[in-house]
Amino acid sequence: MSARKKVVVFDYGFGNVRSAERALAHVGADVEITRDYDTAMTADGLLVPGVGAFAACMRGLREARGDWLVGRRLAGGRPVMGICVGMQILFARGIEHGEEAEGLDEWPGTVEPLRAPVVPHMGWNTVTAPEDSQLFAGADAEDRYYFVHSYAVRAWELETANPALRPPKVTWATHGEPFVAAVENGPLWATQFHPEKSGDAGARLLSNWLGTL
């Protein structure tokens, strides 16, 4: 029997860490909630949750050395997954209530207010994933995932000029307008929705991520 994969849910004060812990344990991970840098650095997988405002999350992440942690793990090809605002802070910047804040800049792009008749976007929605997606392997086009957000990335700006490099796999959803719902980019994966709150469909996605660690 293969060893259970060790996953750290990074606790920097801005995420539903208990929900993430339960969901990952449900699909077979050995989960620890911590902000200890060394423990998080050596885990098989790192999950970065996030709730609240972009700028506040970034401040909390930096105070916990999470910016260094994410960068160091990715430089070594070690998997990281961001959820909700934990995905948004992976982009270059966020603009909320007129306040602009720098993100981790793993991907170019801006997190901006959703342009939709009803905001926040709160509830269940389908997504459109690439056919070769690993994250959504085994998923049905009618599967629904739980979203709760007022801001999103409305345009994917990363261009892969080198044909030898695999372009990121970008999944989209629509609420008033299309926005980025998930990204798979080498060791860095992220979802705008909450897989830990998305029932069996979300559990399948977490299991797929766990299987790549």
- The distance in angstroms from the start CA to the end CA of the chain is 16
CB 150 within 8 A of CB 88: no
> Count of H helices and E strands in the chain?
6, 13
pLDDT of residue 3: 79
Q: Which of 204, 202, 191, 152 is nearest to 175 (CA)?
A: 152
Active site residues: 84, 194, 196
- How far apart (Å, rounded) are the C-alpha atoms in residues 30 and 209? 14
The residue to which tokens 């269940």 are assigned: 124
CATH class of the region 6-212: alpha beta
**Residue-level pLDDT at 205:** 98
What pLDDT score does 164 carry?
Answer: 63
User: Strands (DSSP E) along 24-71, which ranges?
Assistant: 30-34, 45-48
Chain centroid to CA 188: 8
Q: What is the mean pLDDT of each run of 10 residues along the chain (213 residues)?
A: 86 93 97 97 97 94 97 97 98 92 97 96 98 97 97 90 77 98 98 98 98 96
Q: Where are the domains of the chain?
A: 6-212
Q: What is the pTM of this model?
A: 0.95
